[in-house]
Structure 1
Amino acid sequence: MVYVVLILSAVFVGGGVVLMVRGGGLSGLSGIYECGLEQLVVKGSYFSLRFFLLSLLFLLMDLEVGLLVMAPFVVGWSCGGVIKFMVVLWLFLLALLYEWWAGGVDWSL
């Protein structure tokens, strides 16, 4: 079964390479695409690092909440399980407090 997957993967990759070489390669990807004239002045796109860090923090906290909901079912309610659960909660709280202290949780964008 593994050999069949490897052979099919090699056939698809090889076919893609052959079609790319016959079709002219990647030269068609560098042109404009149905959007009119080319820009005369190339402007760099502005990317807010502050917004990126805030959204990354939101995603991490969302993931942590999802893990915390299932944690009691995974570790059980034994003494060791509750201690592990509390250690993880304290680590999450300390990480949040550090982010707040470092200025990463400033809601004014």
Structure 2
Amino acid sequence: MNLMMTMALTTMIPLILIIFNHLAPKTSPDMEKLSPYECGFSPLENARLPLSIQFFLIAIFFLLFDLEIALLLPIPWALNTSTTATTWMLLLIFLLTLGLAYEWSQGALDWTK
């Protein structure tokens, strides 16, 4: 009985969705919806527009500190198990703090350049 019910549901749900798709009103897309979107830039303009290196630096900094969060997620478990993991965690935080202080002192995080 359970197998028959599962087979009936796996057949009926896609059929209901297909029927609903055919009954839904058709939309008429305009030129704005049909035009390709390329990261905020118009694809019909010159592709060789100069981009600020500051944008890429901020993106790299974001990825670096986002990765830091992923590396620091297991801290609660590491604190209960070994002092070696705690030492590595503190070393990682110290190095990242040093890197952030260096970037800040060099003006890499200044948006108004």
TM (norm. structure 1) is 0.52
TM-superposed deviation, 1:66? 1.7
Unaligned runs of 5+ in 1: 1-38
Question: Are the equivalent residues in 2 in contact too, given 1:76–1:82 (CA < 8 A)?
Answer: no
State the structure with more CA Rg: 2
Kindly indicate whether residue 99 of structure 2 is the aligned counterpart of residue 91 of structure 1.
no
Q: What is the SS of the residue equivalent to 1:96? A: helix
Kindly report which structure 2 residues correspond to 1:55-66, keeping only aligned pairs within 5 A, or say none.
Answer: 55-66=59-70
Determine the structure 1 residue equivalent to 2:71: 67
Considering only aligned residues, what root-mean-square deviation do their CA atoms show, in Å?
2.9
Residue from 49, 52, 65 that aligns with 1:48: 52
Q: Indicate how the Cα distance of structure 1 residues 88 and 76 shifts in structure 2: closer, same or farther if over 3 A, else same.
A: farther
Residue from 103, 108, 112 that aligns with 1:108: 112
Task: Tell me the alpha carbon deviations over residues 32-66 of structure 1, each in whole angstroms, 9 at most, x when there is no partner.
Answer: xxxxxxx8xx6731211011101111111111112
TM-superposed deviation, 1:73? 3.4
TM-superposed deviation, 1:108? 3.3
Question: Are the equivalent residues in 2 in contact too, given 1:72–1:85 (CA < 8 A)?
Answer: no
Q: Relative contact order: is structure 1 or structure 2 higher (C-alpha 8 Å, sep ≥ 6)?
A: 1
Unaligned runs of 5+ in 2: 1-43
Q: Distance in 1 between matches of 2:105 and 2:81?
A: 33
TM-superposed deviation, 1:71? 4.2
Q: Percent identity?
A: 33
Q: What is the SS of the residue equivalent to 1:73? A: helix
